[in-house]
A = this chain, B = another copy of it.
């Protein structure tokens, strides 16, 4: 075979030998320069860089990956929705990955996806990623995949075996607890919870935090209402909750559901916050501008992404080192106008 048709173009892409020839050095020296290896004189480095520039040379990552066994890329498995949390986290992950010199492969899975997480992870492994990130996972039971690269999981136990596992983005329970305590501190006898789908770990964490807050206070624990993160499901739940005069405070597991809930309450003639207080979770873009402005918990997605990836890359580049210590992100409750003292 002659050189492949060259990525659809007419002229073949320059290779490192071409650069070497032009710079009057060996191919290996070009490689050294592009890998920031030591033992290259400043003069030679300059000549190589100039030659590369002139030729428009770019390192061929497939060849590099084949030779080195590393791709310098990371794979993300994200739940395939455009939900605020996963979407925002993904943006943070991408930025940090790029800062750290890693490319990012993304695979979405959807709830009900037959291949599920296993399929997504398998496809990433086939792409040769050096590490895998599982964002906002759901419980699919045991995932039948043997992963041989380090894995970063955001806020969940790991459903499969991998050589190195790091976690980040915990603390959802503490945040939920703070939200619930805020309501309790206002004087509400108890707080109802509009939970996320049971299979999502983050939904479970928020539920646990709510439960802990009630228990610590000795408050009665009302039955949990489960939504699907959507405003529509919040609305449906709200219609039921509105009919119960005992309900004076609700902690919703995300802002979308909180907004649907508020609408249902309002339509039923129960004023927010005068009759019922509502706290959301996420602090979505419009949270401060809906009616009433929503009290909610802001998640530090960027910080969480940064910490998580730092640990993951550490595990990749130092296979035998100890894991870095994890730290819980700070709780950031944003109090606005959807919460107040209970009606007299």
Q: How far is the CA of A229 from the CA of B107 in the complex (A)?
A: 27
A126-B59 CB under 8 A given contacts A104-B106, A107-B94: yes
Q: A66 contacts which of B66, B148, B291 (Cβ < 8 Å)?
A: B66
* Contact B7–A289 (Cβ < 8 Å): no
CB proximity to B under 8 Å, residues A99-118: 103-108
* Contact A289–B260 (Cβ < 8 Å): yes
* Contact B286–A7 (Cβ < 8 Å): no
A115-127 contact mask (Cβ, 8 Å, vs B): 1 or 0: 0000000110111
> Which chain B residue lies CB-closest to A230?
B285
- Cβ of A217 within 8 Å of any chain B Cβ, yes or no, is no
CB proximity to B under 8 Å, residues A267-317: 284-286, 288-291, 293, 316
Copies in the complex: 2
Stretch of A79-87, A240-248, A322-330 that contacts chain B:
A79-87
- Cβ of A4 within 8 Å of any chain B Cβ, yes or no, is yes
* Contact A235–B94 (Cβ < 8 Å): no
- B residues in contact with A6, CB < 8 Å: 69, 148
* Contact A87–B82 (Cβ < 8 Å): yes
- Cβ of A60 within 8 Å of any chain B Cβ, yes or no, is yes
Query: Interface residues, chain A, CB within 8 Å of chain B?
Result: 3-9, 11, 13, 56, 58-63, 65-66, 68-71, 73, 80-82, 84, 87-88, 90-91, 94-95, 98, 103-108, 122-123, 125-128, 130, 146, 148-150, 163-164, 230-232, 234-235, 255-256, 259-260, 262-263, 266, 284-286, 288-291, 293, 316, 319
Q: How far is the CA of A319 from the CA of B7 in the complex (A)?
A: 10
* Contact A8–B103 (Cβ < 8 Å): no
A334 to chain B, nearest CB (A): 14
* Contact A316–B8 (Cβ < 8 Å): yes
A288 to chain B, nearest CB (A): 7
Q: A69 contacts which of B7, B71, B289 (Cβ < 8 Å)?
A: B7
Q: How far is the CA of A209 from the CA of B30 in the complex (A)?
A: 53
Q: Which 9 A-B pairs have the closest CB atoms?
A: A4-B69, A9-B148, A62-B65, A87-B87, A82-B88, A231-B289, A62-B66, A263-B289, A291-B291
Q: How far is the CA of A104 from the CA of B61 in the complex (A)?
A: 15
* Contact A163–B9 (Cβ < 8 Å): yes
> Which chain B residue lies CB-closest to A163?
B8
A115 to chain B, nearest CB (A): 10
* Contact A150–B8 (Cβ < 8 Å): yes
Q: How far is the CA of A164 from the CA of B7 in the complex (A)?
A: 12
- B residues in contact with A68, CB < 8 Å: 4
A259-B8 CB under 8 A given contacts A107-B94, A108-B91, A122-B58: no
- B residues in contact with A62, CB < 8 Å: 62-63, 65-66, 71, 128
* Contact A286–B69 (Cβ < 8 Å): no
A106 to chain B, nearest CB (A): 5
- B residues in contact with A235, CB < 8 Å: 289
Q: A106 contacts which of B60, B106, B259 (Cβ < 8 Å)?
A: B106
A51 to chain B, nearest CB (A): 17
